[in-house]
Chain A
Amino acid sequence: KNEVEQSPQNLTAQEGEFITINCSYSVGISALHWLQQHPGGGIVSLFMLSSGKKKHGRLIATINIQEKHSSLHITASHPRDSAVYICAVLSTGNQFYFGTGTSLTVIP
């Protein structure tokens, strides 16, 4: 069993839809990251969370430490949001664990 599980694995949405990607983890963590990976490999760090909620433009990330769960929301999705979204955690044991990613396709 992976330490970090994401759902769904694949997601197709119409432009303008509200999107939620979920991440559950089984280890104690110091921090959780949401990463965006475009075709070709480039990875961009979207958010770093240790509690609560963060917002950047149309992106919102939340984390519930007690439930070991985080969500990434995209409001008013756009085709340029199409990418793989990866959840990653730094455990309290100083190990890094990554989810396998959620592949998002937004159709015009």
Chain B
Amino acid sequence: ETGVTQSPTHLIKTRGQQVTLRCSSQSGHNTVSWYQQALGQGPQFIFQYYREEENGRGNFPPRFSGLQFPNYSSELNVNALELDDSALYLCASSLDGTGLSDTQYFGPGTRLTVL
């Protein structure tokens, strides 16, 4: 049990819709990272937030955006959903610093299906 929770566990959307995924980090963890994992693939880094500011971003378009809140929760928003956005979305929190330089604690993921 990592103490990191995500909601919802799974959901189905249609192409063109918008979705918000939520993550609740461990208390005291100032860094949260979001990853997309397509079926059969390794995770791909979307972005990272540190103390409510984005401080790193992978190769994802601007329709992927995020927010981090002072209560250690965060959101991943995806606009104009495409079929290829179907994946498992994982969030991971860490105490401080630049994410993978600290131990990351992963949530169980949200499985998004876009029809």
Chains A and B bind each other:
yes
Q: Is the CB of B90 within 8 A of A88?
A: no
Complex CA–CA separation, A85 to B100 (angstroms): 16
Q: How many residues of A contact B (CB 8 A)?
A: 24
Secondary structure type dominating chain A contacts: strand
A96/B42 contact (C-beta < 8 A), A30-B101, A41-B90, A90-B98 known: no
Q: How many residues of B contact A (CB 8 A)?
A: 28
Binding site for A on B (CB under 8 A): 2, 33, 35, 37, 40-45, 48, 56, 58, 88, 90, 92, 98-106, 108-109, 111
Q: Is the CB of B109 within 8 A of A95?
A: no
Q: Is the CB of B42 within 8 A of A30?
A: no
A86/B45 contact (C-beta < 8 A), A43-B106, A45-B105, A48-B100 known: no
A78 contacts chain B at the CB level, 8 A cutoff: no
